[in-house]
């Protein structure tokens, strides 16, 4: 619509289908409005195209969020998460979810709004970014873009991103940790309210993420 002019006819030859790149899975948005109201929203399915079943005549796909239940104790879901009876499928019950839409207050005032997709790595990505902001005083961009690590009990390994500090990797291996290198951890979106009233924003470099102000 950027070049749409209601007063002028378009030349058909110049019109073609647009290509919109869309992430195929969980989506997160972090928002602060002019009054400082914060919203952190994560919406999820488990795999690209959900259950791959289209509702006939309605034109939408069914989700595959049922995969976040444990089909049986000890059997992992598609993120390798192993659950027990507490996460068994029961009518009316909600499945275990890693979604972590988060608001942080400082002195009872809005401070940080943050969240991410990433399956089981979601709470890890949010936690590490918050530790980076709160304990290591990093700016929003460094806090989300510095390399992260993740452990989820099973599989018994520490997942590290590719530019993770090699000295730390060696130390962890010497302690007996199984290290698995590669992959990405989260695609975190953050807004931090600075003490001067300005908003510091950052969109994760790992994906097609973006920041906008109005
Ligand atoms: O609710 C959950 O924990 C999962 N459905 C999240 C899946 C997810 O983040 C996949 N996207 N990257």
- Lowest-pLDDT range of 84-88, 97-101, 141-145, 176-180: 84-88
pLDDT in tens, 3-25: 889 999 989 888 888 776 666 67
Please indicate whether residue 99, judged by its CB atom, sits closer than 6 Å to ligand 1.
yes
Cβ atoms of 120 and 197 within 8 Å: the answer is: no
Please give the positions annotated as active site: 26
pLDDT in tens, 73-110: 889 999 889 988 999 999 999 999 999 999 999 999 99
Distance CA(171)–CA(162), nearest Å, equals 16
Higher pLDDT residue, 34 or 18? Answer: 34
Q: Strand pairing of 102-106 and 109-115?
A: antiparallel
**Any idea where the domains of the chain sit in the sequence?**
25-202
The atom number, within ligand 1, closest to the CA of 26 reads: 11
Residue with CA closest to ligand 1 atom 7: 119
Selection from 142, 123, 121, 136 nearest residue 190 by Cα: 142
31, pLDDT greater than 90: yes
Q: Strand pairing of 149-150 and 109-115?
A: unpaired
Q: What architecture does CATH give domain 25-202?
A: 4-Layer Sandwich (3.60)
Please indicate whether residue 46, judged by its CB atom, sits closer than 6 Å to ligand 1.
yes
Distance CA(64)–CA(116), nearest Å, equals 19
- Lowest-pLDDT range of 9-13, 39-43, 137-141, 168-172: 9-13
Between the CA of 166 and the centroid of ligand 1 the distance, in Å, is 29
The atom number, within ligand 1, closest to the CA of 47 reads: 10
**Phi, psi of 89, deg, nearest 5:** -75, 125
- The residue to mutate among 98, 115, 152, 206, having the most atoms of ligand 1 within 8 angstroms of its beta carbon, is 98
- The residue to mutate among 67, 79, 186, having the most atoms of ligand 1 within 8 angstroms of its beta carbon, is 79
Residue 73 confidence (pLDDT): 85
């Amino acid at each position: 619509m950027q070049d749409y002019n209601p007063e002028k006819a378009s030349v058909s030859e110049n019109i073609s289908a647009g290509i919109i790149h869309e992430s195929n899975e969980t989506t997160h948005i972090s928002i602060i409005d002019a009054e400082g109201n914060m919203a952190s929203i994560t919406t999820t399915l488990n795999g690209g195209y959900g259950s791959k079943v289209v509702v006939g005549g309605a034109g939408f796909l069914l989700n595959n969020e049922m995969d976040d239940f444990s089909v049986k104790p000890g059997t992992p879901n598609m993120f390798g998460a192993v659950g027990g009876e507490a996460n068994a499928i029961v009518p009316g019950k909600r499945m275990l979810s890693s979604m972590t839409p988060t608001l942080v207050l400082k002195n009872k005032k809005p401070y940080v709004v943050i969240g991410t997709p990433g399956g089981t790595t979601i709470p890890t990505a949010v936690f590490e970014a918050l530790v980076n902001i709160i304990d290591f005083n990093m700016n929003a961009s460094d806090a989300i873009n510095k390399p992260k690590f993740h452990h989820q009990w099973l599989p018994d390994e520490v997942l590290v991103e590719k530019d993770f500090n090699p000295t730390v990797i060696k130390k962890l291996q010497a302690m007996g940790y199984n290290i698995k290198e590669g992959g990405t951890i989260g695609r975190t979106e953050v807004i931090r309210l600075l003490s001067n009233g300005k908003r510091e924003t950052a969109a994760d470099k790992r994906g097609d993420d973006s920041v906008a102000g109005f």
